[in-house]
Amino acid sequence: MGGREANVVLLDENGIRSDGRKVNETRKVTIKAGVLKNASGSAYIEFGGNKYHMEPFSVGERKKPAPSRREIEISKVIKEALEPAVMLEKFPRTAVDVFLEVLQADGGTRCAALDAASVALADAGIPMRDLVCACASGKAADALILDVNNEEDQAGQADMPIGYMPNLGKITLLQLDGVLTADEYKKCIELGLEGCKQVYEIQKNALREKYFSSGDKD
Amino acid sequence: MANLSIIDKLKRSKILDLLQEGKRIDDRALDEPRPLVIDIGVIPHANGSARVRLGDTEIVSGIKIDLSQFVLEKDKSVIGLFADSVVTDHDGNLFDACSYASVAAIITSKIPKWEMKDDIPVLIENQESDAPITTIPISVTMGRIGEFIIVDPNIDEWGCLDARITITTNSDGNIVALQKGGSDGFTFEQLVKCSELSIAVGKKIRETVKQATEGGQ
């Protein structure tokens, strides 16, 4: 973040980003609810057109199975981002476990994880006040951008993940890595919230798809 | 918020009642941090150190620059700088207290000089230099209780916050770090207000840090 030299052009003269997106465009988001048979609820999410192959132990880099500092931090912020949405008072003396597995990372993992967790909780039939949708905004090549990818995260100027409950208008996750002026900060949140709302529609569709698919599919 | 004890619930309702009158439990204004006292050079064996008292929260921070962590190459040196903070008294808002202690310790730390001689790093005595500091980042932690935003919550307030946010600004007044915590959220308007508070309060605290660290160790 910040100081690292960019070898790639993050934004060309036409305002198009390195992966062909406009500044206010998210990557293609795919969410599927209810993908696991033996969990109370589950969801699968893809941010971006990355091909996903499940080939454990055949990947080039292997991570240690114990949670790293980063994973502990992400767990904490995701827990705190979900908590206000879940009606915990309906579950006295009960633990609700949410397991998140990042199969492939290309920036924005905490947002994608939060999006999937929220759909999985809804899929499990857990009473919720709202869905939590998340999307990152940030700054690269002096422009404010939506849904920061890994390249932009590494060589860009700022990355700001946002978690949002759209019906309650509450921001439940907010972090910033990088430098923004007070004005950019405001605009960056607004841009991120736009992305959140787009993701929210996809989340709703994923749940509709599972529970009402016979009626809605064309 | 879900696991408040009876005492906490009573405390919360008292704190909320006071906030409705525009008051806080320790008579501060809503946007007023506790008095900040910074002593530097409290651990002479460290490369830099500071003791910070933020109200009754006390932190001691020490900076150690370890030779084994040095990478010395021609035209390129990487230094490992460790800031360890110890909480000696906890009266709420460890985020800011630890942040101020580390910043004060880093600003006043002296970087020892090493040179490569026959591929072995050798310490050059009495040739310490100042740490290359370009900006002073100041964190300001704010809490939300009900609809009220308070700056630098003390331990009583800390126990009944709905949500917390820490915003760090640099010497240019830009926002350089931010993290929301706590088990509830903020509205967009509240977040904008928090950024304004962080810039305004941070400016005053930066002056305190500057004064306390002037002249180095």
Residue labelled with tokens 């941010």: A47
Residue B185 near chain A (CB below 8 Å): yes
ipTM confidence? 0.77
Distance from CA of B162 to the nearest CA of A (A): 10
Predicted confidence at residue A2, as pLDDT, reads 46
Residue B38 near chain A (CB below 8 Å): no
C-beta neighbour count of B177 within 10 angstroms: 17
C-beta neighbour count of B92 within 10 angstroms: 23
pLDDT, tens digit, for every residue of A89-126? 888 888 889 988 887 778 888 999 999 999 999 999 99
Nearest to B185 among A77, A172, A180 (CB): A172
Predicted confidence at residue A182, as pLDDT, reads 95
- Does residue A195 surpass a pLDDT of 60? yes
Distance CA B42, CA B61 (A): 9
Look up residue B168 and give its two tokens. 């760090």
Q: Which of A137, A171, A189 to mutate to test the interface with B (most CBs of B within 10 A)?
A: A171
Nearest to A84 among B174, B185, B191 (CB): B185
B81 strand-pairing partners: B65
User: How far, CA to CA in Å, does B165 sit from each of A39, A98, B182, B196?
Assistant: 34, 24, 8, 13
Residues A16/A192, Cβ–Cβ less than 8 Å: no
Residue B188 near chain A (CB below 8 Å): yes
Distance CA A157, CA A162 (A): 17
Distance CA B150, CA A155 (A): 35
Distance from CA of A169 to the nearest CA of B (A): 6
pLDDT, tens digit, for every residue of B51-100? 999 999 999 999 988 765 555 565 555 677 889 999 999 999 999 999 99
Predicted confidence at residue B2, as pLDDT, reads 52
Residue B16 near chain A (CB below 8 Å): no
Q: Which residue of B has its CA nearest to A81?
A: B183
Q: Identify the CA nearest to A133 among candidates A91, A164, A155, A161.
A: A164
Distance CA B114, CA B120 (A): 10
3 state SS of A205: helix
Please state, rounded to an integer, the average pLDDT across all residues of chain A: 87
Q: What is the DSSP string of B164-212?
A: EEEEEE-TTS-EEEEEEESSS-B-HHHHHHHHHHHHHHHHHHHHHHHHH
With a CB cutoff of 8 Å and minimum separation 6, the contacts of B211 are none
Predicted confidence at residue B78, as pLDDT, reads 67
Confidence of residue A54 (pLDDT cuts 50, 70, 90): very low
Contact list, A173 vs chain B (CB under 8 Å) = 180
Q: What is the DSSP string of A154-173?
A: HHSSEEEEEEEETTTTEEEE
The CA R_g of chain B, rounded to the nearest whole Å, is 20
Nearest to A175 among B2, B178, B183 (CB): B178
With a CB cutoff of 8 Å and minimum separation 6, the contacts of B95 are B139, B141, B166
Contact list, B197 vs chain A (CB under 8 Å) = none
Distance from CA of B82 to the nearest CA of A (A): 17
Distance from CA of A152 to the nearest CA of B (A): 17
Predicted confidence at residue A65, as pLDDT, reads 80
Distance CA A109, CA A170 (A): 21
Contact list, A185 vs chain B (CB under 8 Å) = 175, 195
Distance from CA of A215 to the nearest CA of B (A): 36
Weakest-pLDDT range from A66-70, A90-94, A103-107, A167-171: A103-107
Q: Which residues of chain B have pLDDT under 50?
A: 1, 217
The dihedrals phi and psi of B167, each to the nearest 5 degrees, come to: -120, 130
| Portion of chain A with pLDDT greater than 90, in percent | 59
Look up residue A185 and give its two tokens. 């900060």
Look up residue A106 and give its two tokens. 């290309």
Contact list, A182 vs chain B (CB under 8 Å) = 173-175, 195-196, 199
Q: Is there a contact between B175 and A168 if contact means CB atoms under 8 Å apart?
A: no
| Portion of chain A with pLDDT greater than 70, in percent | 88
- Tell me the CB-side half-sphere exposure of residue B132, using CA atoms within 13 A: 2
Distance from CA of B44 to the nearest CA of A (A): 31
With a CB cutoff of 8 Å and minimum separation 6, the contacts of B173 are A181, A182, B199, B203
Contact list, A160 vs chain B (CB under 8 Å) = 178
Mean pLDDT of A32-40: 88
Contact list, B188 vs chain A (CB under 8 Å) = 169, 171, 189-190, 193
Q: Identify the CA nearest to B95 among candidates B39, B28, B177.
A: B177
Residues A174/B178, Cβ–Cβ less than 8 Å: yes
With a CB cutoff of 8 Å and minimum separation 6, the contacts of A77 are A110, A173, A175, B179, B180, B181
Contact list, B177 vs chain A (CB under 8 Å) = 176-177
Distance CA B34, CA A111 (A): 35
Distance CA B89, CA B53 (A): 9
Q: Which residue of A has its CA nearest to B199?
A: A182
Residue A12 burial (CB < 10 Å; 0-12/13-18/19+)?
A: exposed
Give the CA dihedral B115, B118, B121, B122, nearest 10 degrees: -70
- Does residue A55 surpass a pLDDT of 80? no
Mean pLDDT of A160-181: 96
Confidence of residue A180 (pLDDT cuts 50, 70, 90): very high
CA B121 to chain CA centroid, Å, is 34
Which of B67 and A194 is assigned the larger pLDDT?
A194
